[in-house]
Structure 1
Amino acid sequence: MVVGMAPRLLVYTRTTDYRHDSIPAAVVAVRALGEFDVEHTEDPAALEAALDGWAAVVFLSTSGDVLTPAGRERLAGYVEAGGGFVGVHAAACTEYGWPYYGELLGARFDRHPAHQPGRAVVEDRTHPATRQLPAVWEFTDEWYDFRTNPRGAARVLVCADESSYEGGGMGADHPLVWCRSQGAGRVFYTALGHAAEAYGDPDFRQHLRGGIAWAARLAH
């Protein structure tokens, strides 16, 4: 990285399954953070090139199979060698046929109830993605359930309070946001971010900023 230049983010939003209407607002929000040189793409060839120059790769509500075999190899090599990876919302609905991706992310999407208000409980307030959040964060989202609980394989930062909304399926321990190491790399995931309105929320933007900065080793 050239001294004085902003850290570079590769923001990837390709979808081959459900496509979120919030993707344009999400990209605008990441650009508006102002701390990163953002390249947004939906071209899988961008993941086939050398990724060494990127501070982090962000899968922003991707869905379905979005990588070529060469792209899978590049992404895995990049993270294992110390690169940063950030998954937002439907990133957990991505690459179901690639076992490594499930390990990388920490858990895969299972189902969600209706989009509705609820409470997120901040379990770990020492992380850059959660330091500025209230201990109990009132939010409106889809409150994703996951096929497995990432606790143990990941450092859980935020959990859903299933008593605060209808249709939760994971019980008392329902992680929503976590981070983990993969090889020499850092991985951050947040299940929040379904609706365009979320990306205009100052707390959510700060949440994204902290998660990206942590994955890119710009914050601790």
Structure 2
Amino acid sequence: MKNILAILIIFLNLSCKASDTLKSPDKVLIFTKTAGFRHQSIETGVKTIEELSKLNNFEITHTEDAAVFTPDSLKQYQLVIFLNTTGDILNADEEKAFEAFIQNGGSFMGIHSATDTEYEWPWFGKLVGAYFLNHPEQATATIKRVNSKHPSTKHLQEKWVHYDEWYNFKSINQDINVILNLDESTYEGGKNGEFHPIAWYHEFDGGRSFYTGLGHTNESYAEPEFKQHLLGGILYCLKR
């Protein structure tokens, strides 16, 4: 009887693993259109996320064509990532389509200059969680982990020393859940004070949103800590 029970358990485990393997991959749209400053790290960022996708059962589509922002086109995706976008990049119809995507349960992820995007679209400002104000020279700074359980931060130490371009923010949405806070005493030029969120998440208007202020430099995308941080944000947005 014990042998039969053991065989059944093994069979069930194998069946679950096979089911996981056969699950259709989530679809992720990476949008990198710029109408202002263009980051040299965009292509590196796309390649990094593509590498992560191959190991974590999601597929990416990369575009800079805003025409993809229609209801029919967006409905195939579970997540839209704004990777170092800048400026006014969507027209009124495209904005409406993206709002509907989020309201229907889609997810959004913003990386670095996603907050330097669509200043005249208040809905987007609330979705991304803040707007870019300015930044000092790139520098090494200490990031304090606020949340140790989120998939994008649980691999990090309590203090993470990282080199990047550190944004100061304005119009911070008070409903965001801060997971990483920047220690302004460790670099020059911070303007947000003790409350200087640099990564956060929240639920907004029917969907999920995740943002990280890191990701200016090419070198960031080769760092294991940052890559795992990105992956954790993606997995949160994919509701895994």
Q: Would the TM-score normalized by the shorter structure come out above 0.5?
A: yes
Q: Once superposed, what is the RMSD of the aligned Cα atoms?
A: 1.1
Q: Spell out, residue by residue over 1:160-214, the C-alpha distance to the aligned partner (whole angstroms, 9 max, x if none).
A: 0001111111111100000011122000000100001000111101000010110
1:4-23 paired onto structure 2 within 5 Å = 4-23=23-42
In structure 2, the partner of 1:162 is 184
- Following the alignment from structure 1 to structure 2, what is the Cα–Cα distance between the partners of residues 146 and 105? 12
Report the Cα offset of residue 29 of structure 1.
Answer: 0.5
Residue 82 (structure 1) aligned to one of 99, 102, 105: 105
Greater share of helix: 2
Equivalent pair of 2:71/2:101 in contact (CA under 8 Å): no
- Following the alignment from structure 1 to structure 2, what is the Cα–Cα distance between the partners of residues 78 and 118? 36
Report the Cα offset of residue 49 of structure 1.
Answer: 4.4
In structure 2, the partner of 1:25 is 44
1:13-162 paired onto structure 2 within 5 Å = 13-33=32-52, 34=54, 35=56, 36-50=58-72, 51-150=74-173, 152-162=174-184
Equivalent pair of 1:86/1:188 in contact (CA under 8 Å): yes
Point out 4+ residue stretches in structure 1 off by more than 2 angstroms. none
Larger radius of gyration: 2
> TM-score when scaled to structure 2?
0.87
Equivalent pair of 2:131/2:172 in contact (CA under 8 Å): no
Which amino acid in 2 is paired with 1:174?
H
- Following the alignment from structure 1 to structure 2, what is the Cα–Cα distance between the partners of residues 53 and 21? 29
> TM-score when scaled to structure 1?
0.95
- Following the alignment from structure 1 to structure 2, what is the Cα–Cα distance between the partners of residues 86 and 149? 16
- Following the alignment from structure 1 to structure 2, what is the Cα–Cα distance between the partners of residues 54 and 187? 15
- Following the alignment from structure 2 to structure 1, what is the Cα–Cα distance between the partners of residues 227 and 161? 15
Q: Spell out, residue by residue over 1:86-143, the C-alpha distance to the aligned partner (whole angstroms, 9 max, x if none).
A: 0000000001111111111111110111111111111011111111111101101111
Equivalent pair of 1:149/1:174 in contact (CA under 8 Å): no
Residue 233 (structure 2) aligned to one of 211, 215, 218: 211
Equivalent pair of 1:157/1:178 in contact (CA under 8 Å): yes
- Unaligned segments of structure 1, at least 5 residues: none
Equivalent pair of 2:130/2:172 in contact (CA under 8 Å): yes
